[in-house]
């Protein structure tokens, strides 16, 4: 599939509700191009506020802020205001979702789970301390890079929202509660997967069914919780 206006061929790797993601080459390095497209069914007033230009600028700003706060994200290689594309560093590694699936199928590696959970908690804690709201926290938006290194919060969809810090320093600076909470959530995830796959033959249901989102589930952060039956 060719992206109009860009030299060289591109391979589409994912299509979301708001953007297409291609694999490409940026001055000799493997890269990812995210192309946003406009939604013609939107109310024009809303659409003018959510222009691609603004969204791309927002994403660039939030990525920059996140990095300054010490949160690992893919590097931004280029922004094209005409084609409405963002070019990122290609990050190698599985999504956290896939790592959990692996655990579900072949058993949990406690150490690895602990490590991932801690890093997720650290990252979210840093974002929130810095006044950034992710807006779409899901394990499919997190990549495990270099096993021994940080978990990158890589977002495919419009994600990072900036929050004005006018409410003062409400959020506490230590990240104590986060790792424990996330640990429990992830364990619950894995248990559900194990249960589902063990009774797969009986109920004719695959683990994918359990993982699919409920139509009544609110978007964003809460999605993780309600998918896996945690309060």
- Residues serving a catalytic function are 136
| Closest distance to other proteins from the beta carbon of 14 (Å) | 21
Q: Tell me whether residue 47 or residue 80 sits nearer to other proteins (CB atom).
A: 80
DSSP output for 190-225:
HHHHHHHHHTHHHHT--HHHHHSPPTTPPSTHHHHH
Dist CA 117 CA 123 (whole Å): 10
Q: Give residues in contact with other proteins (CB under 8 A).
A: 7-8, 25-29, 56-57, 60-61, 63-64, 67-72, 75-82, 87, 89, 126, 150
Q: Tell me whether residue 141 or residue 192 sits nearer to other proteins (CB atom).
A: 141
Secondary structure of 68-131 as H, E, C letters? HCCCCCCCEEEEECCCCEEEEECCCCCEHHHHHHHHHHHCCCHHHHHHHHHHHHHHHHHHHHCC
| Closest distance to other proteins from the beta carbon of 34 (Å) | 13
| Closest distance to other proteins from the beta carbon of 78 (Å) | 5
Q: Tell me whether residue 126 or residue 158 sits nearer to other proteins (CB atom).
A: 126
């Amino acid at each position: 599939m060719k992206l109009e206006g860009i030299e060289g061929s591109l391979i589409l790797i994912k299509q979301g509700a708001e953007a297409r993601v291609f694999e490409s080459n940026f001055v000799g390095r493997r890269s990812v191009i995210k192309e946003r497209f406009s939604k013609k069914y939107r109310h024009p007033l809303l659409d003018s506020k959510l222009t691609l230009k603004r969204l791309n600028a927002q994403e660039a700003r939030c990525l920059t802020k996140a990095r300054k706060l010490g949160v690992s994200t893919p590097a931004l290689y280029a922004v094209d205001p005409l084609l409405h594309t963002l070019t990122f560093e290609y990050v190698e590694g599985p999504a956290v979702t896939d790592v959990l699936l692996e655990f579900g199928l072949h058993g949990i590696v406690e150490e690895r789970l602990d490590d991932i959970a801690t890093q997720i908690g650290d990252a979210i804690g840093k974002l929130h301390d810095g006044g950034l709201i992710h807006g779409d926290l899901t394990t499919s938006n997190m990549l495990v890079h270099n096993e021994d290194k940080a978990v990158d919060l890589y977002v495919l969809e419009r994600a990072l929202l900036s929050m004005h810090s006018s409410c003062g320093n409400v959020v506490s600076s230590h990240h104590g509660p986060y790792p424990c909470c996330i640990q429990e959530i992830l364990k619950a995830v894995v248990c559900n997967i194990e249960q589902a796959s063990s009774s797969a033959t009986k109920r004719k249901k695959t683990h994918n069914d359990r993982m699919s989102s409920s139509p009544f589930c609110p978007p964003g952060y809460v999605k993780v919780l309600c998918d896996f039956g945690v309060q």
